[in-house]
DNA sequence: TCGGTTTAGTAAATCGTTTTAGTAGGTTTA
DNA sequence: TAAACCTACTAAAACGATTTACTAAACCGA
């Protein structure tokens, strides 16, 4: 627990610091001009051609001197555009969301957009409240990440890793079928036939598709996934802990397997820990395949073989798509699904199956 | 690279979905009442006592039926409060910022505040632009994370891991001296006398204090840190890669050491990789001490001994402090520094020094 | 029945912009 | 020399709330 220790306090400064500039009206009064003229000039409106350069210069320099700062609220109210989006994530600290956010931000900041972030923490009430609150704050659209959207939203919405088919929302998703092919194919080619699968938590939108596509890919190769070899992650901690527990559960069943396809890298790391505690070596005894390719994957020991999911790109694609739709206005086309390709990254947590198993 | 593939498009729906409710004026017209009355009732103003319950009920139910949504922009403009803060971080994907943000959000959402996030990406121009842009958007205050603030800001500001002493800003910092004591003490007690230190990048606000406090703690124990045993992280990738390179550099010098105090867990993980590639075992040959205690630390192999930094608490403390200051207004006291305590977490990456070294 | 109080409201100003629709005066052009 | 056209602006109406200062009618006590 942090101990809060106020070591010293600043003197007179006061709660509201430094004078904060003037309003347009004050600036106009100071110049003996109307706010109209100032607005025209400062926004470089077409009408402003008739204003002589000299006047313009006077305006610009006064604005600078008096530290004029346009009030974005007032402007937004008038022009009915806020250049602000809402972003809804499950939770910030899970690594997944922040990678996506990174991509979102890269494109938004380039376009002069800002965004309000809100976490729903898997709470039903927040899932309906947050969009409303963001709406009241006049965001122009919403980017959701791994968030269930069950009814048509009031605002243009793009959902990253969303699987519901809802009018008005574009889902940006990984090509899961391809991902499963890559993963299962990799394990199959290494000789694995009994493959365990760690399924994601119920609340993760990818959990079901992931398992289904893996099952399909396995069936296609005549090595159907044994239901006794699937475990589901429990609890919503973003730590490897959940993967560790899941693997413990699986090991307790006594079922044999030579490989594990984990829901993500975090759980793969936890699973490896559990395997090693049982005296099983990775990859000598059991191969472990991760998913996502987070930063730590390459540097784990053993380095994780994993299916890379381009999270940054998914975020930036979501942002681009939403901005495009906003730009097109009323009659924008709304793609239902945009899909993005995974990559197999082979490292050291998977190996050819050994004969003695 | 993601391949963008539009699989299908939704039909008529259009860019701007679902009707979005009415304004107060429309609601008033519909009820044959003035906006004044509605505002009074809806905000439960003291003056509204004289309005009979029946009227109030009419108003409430009409508001619900017509889906009235107060326009927060308009309200904010009028009352001159936005209940919105700005948050400035170096970058979102680094794990550090998102942990802090998590704490910030926990308290803000409870208080009905939202926040705009912006990344400065260590760019000088953004360091001055972002606060201005956030100011124009009328945020009431700013929380910065690991961000240099060199001149008195226009807005009430709290800086997490800030070390500049600037009027108007409260720094929330770790008790670095204690952290160094814990780390150095731990290594010392294990018998280490030649300890290498991985210093943070120039842009990390903690880099200098960290090294200084470590040096002090080491000197106090008569085992001064040899300058030849310090390396600095290079490049701004948030991956263990940078720690890996730093350790390679250090190893290339041929200097001997029995322990490494890394700048953070990420770089510790990279460093361990580099050590192992040289055939050095961790912790048998070299002990490695991390910093932060990120989720992956416990599950790395070997599990990282580390100095835990309560990032969530630092975020929530920052948020609480800023909100308090806003509530107190003009004559709020502005603490210069709030400090928070580290914890030593002993795991498996450090061990007693062996005699053969 | 008169003055005062309570009840149930409303008109209008305001927050800080943008924008529409002018205008007053000078300069061309026919 | 009058119509037409620039030039250099401005008044006032929005945007959607909140808030101050009223008011008209009903009621109440003396």
Measuring CA to CA, which residue among B99, B237, B45 is closest to residue A92? B99
Which of helix, strand or coil describes residue B86? strand
Contact B5 A82 (CB under 8 A): no
Nearest to B4 among A239, A273, A338 (CB): A338
Local confidence band at A198 (pLDDT 50, 70, 90 cut-offs)? very high
Evaluate if residue A186 carries a pLDDT over 90.
yes
Task: Please tell me the distance in Å from A239's CA to the nearest CA on chain B.
Answer: 5
The DSSP bridge partners found for residue B340 are: B174
The residue that minimises its CA distance to C1' of C15 is B78
pLDDT tens-place string over residues B18-57: 457 899 999 999 999 999 999 999 999 999 999 999 999 9
How buried is residue B57: exposed, middle or buried, by Cβ count under 10 Å (0-12/13-18/19+)? exposed
A75 CA: nearest nucleotide by C1': C17
- Which tokens hold the place of A37? 């003229």
pLDDT band at B5 (very low <50, low <70, confident <90, very high): very low
Q: How confident is the model at residue A238 (pLDDT cuts 50, 70, 90)?
A: confident
Chains A & B: contacts with CB separation below 8 Å: 290
Contact B317, B170 (CB under 8 A): no
Minimal CA–CA distance to B299: which of A52, A268, A343?
A268
How confident is the model over B86-142, as pLDDT tens digits? 999 999 987 889 999 999 999 999 999 999 999 999 999 999 999 999 999 999 999
- Chain D bases under 7 Å from protein CB? 6-12, 14-21
Q: How many CA atoms lie within 13 A of A57 on its CB side?
A: 3
Query: What would you report as the CA-atom Rg of chain A, rounded to the nearest whole angstrom?
Result: 27
What DSSP line would sit under A252-294, residue for residue? Answer: HTT---SEEE-SSHHHHHHHHHHHHHTT--TTTT-EEEEEE--
Separation CA A119–CA B102 (nearest Å): 9
Closest CA to A263 of A286, A294, A285, A284: A294
Is the pTM higher than 0.75? The answer reads yes
Contacts of B52 (CB under 8 A, 6+ apart): none
What pLDDT shows up at residue A136? 97
Q: Which whole number is the average pLDDT over A239-267?
A: 96
| Residue A77 contacts strand D, CB under 7 A | yes
pLDDT value for A12 = 32
Q: Check whether B143 has a pLDDT greater than 50.
A: yes
Per-residue model confidence (pLDDT) at position B19: 57
Mean pLDDT, residues A248-252:
98
Q: Is the CB of A52 under 7 A from strand D?
A: yes
Q: What is the pLDDT of residues A274-292, one digit of tens each?
A: 999 999 999 999 999 999 9
**Residue of A70, A88, A98, A324 best to disrupt the B interface, most CBs of B under 10 A:** A98
Predicted pLDDT at A17 = 44
Q: Is B162 helix (H, G, I), strand (E, B) or coil?
A: coil
Q: Assign B248 a pLDDT band (cuts: 50, 70, 90).
A: very high
Q: What is the mean pLDDT of residues A14-41?
A: 84
CA distance B116 to B317: 18
Q: Which uninterrupted H or E stretch holds B334?
A: strand B334-335
Strand locations in B250-314 (E):
259-261, 287-292, 305-308
Contacts of B109 in chain A (CB under 8 A): 118-119
Indicate yes or no: strand D within 7 A of the C-beta of B30: no
pLDDT band at A299 (very low <50, low <70, confident <90, very high): confident
Residue B352: is its pLDDT beyond 90? yes
% chain B with pLDDT above 90: 87
């Amino acid at each position: 627990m942090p101990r809060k220790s106020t070591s010293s306090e600043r003197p007179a400064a006061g709660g509201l610091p430094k004078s904060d500039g003037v309003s347009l009206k004050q600036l106009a009064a100071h110049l003996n001009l109307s706010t109209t003229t100032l607005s025209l000039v400062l926004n470089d409106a077409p009408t402003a051609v008739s204003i002589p350069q000299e006047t313009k210069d006077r305006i610009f320099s006064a604005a600078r001197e008096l530290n004029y700062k346009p009030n974005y609220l007032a402007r937004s109210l008038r022009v009915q555009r806020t250049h602000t989006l809402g972003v809804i994530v499950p939770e910030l600290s899970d690594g997944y969301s922040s990678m996506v956010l990174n991509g979102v931000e890269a494109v938004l900041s380039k376009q002069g957009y800002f965004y309000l972030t809100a976490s729903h923490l898997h709470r039903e009430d927040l899932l309906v409240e947050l969009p409303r609150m963001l709406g009241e704050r006049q965001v122009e659209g919403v980017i959701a990440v791994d968030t269930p959207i069950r009814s048509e939203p009031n605002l243009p919405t793009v959902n990253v890793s969303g699987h519901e088919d809802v009018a008005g929302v574009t889902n940006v998703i990984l090509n899961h079928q391809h991902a499963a092919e890559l993963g299962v194919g990799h394990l199959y080619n290494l000789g694995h036939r009994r493959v365990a699968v760690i399924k994601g938590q119920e609340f993760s939108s990818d959990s079901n598709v992931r398992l289904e596509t893996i099952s399909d890919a396995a069936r296609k190769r005549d090595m159907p996934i044994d239901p006794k070899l699937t475990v589901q992650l429990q609890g919503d901690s973003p730590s490897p802990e959940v993967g560790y527990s899941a693997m413990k559960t699986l090991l307790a069943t006594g079922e044999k397997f030579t490989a594990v396809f984990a829901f993500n890298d975090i759980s793969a790391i936890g699973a490896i820990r559990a395997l090693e505690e049982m005296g099983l070596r990775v990859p000598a005894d059991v191969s472990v395949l991760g998913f996502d390719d987070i930063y730590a994957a390459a540097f784990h020991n053993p380095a994780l073989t994993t299916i890379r999911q381009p999270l940054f790109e998914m975020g930036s694609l979501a942002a681009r798509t939403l901005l495009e739709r906003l730009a097109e206005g009323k009659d924008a086309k709304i793609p239902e699904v945009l899909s993005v390709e995974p990559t197999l990254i082979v490292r050291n947590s998977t190996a050819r199956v050994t004969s003695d198993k």
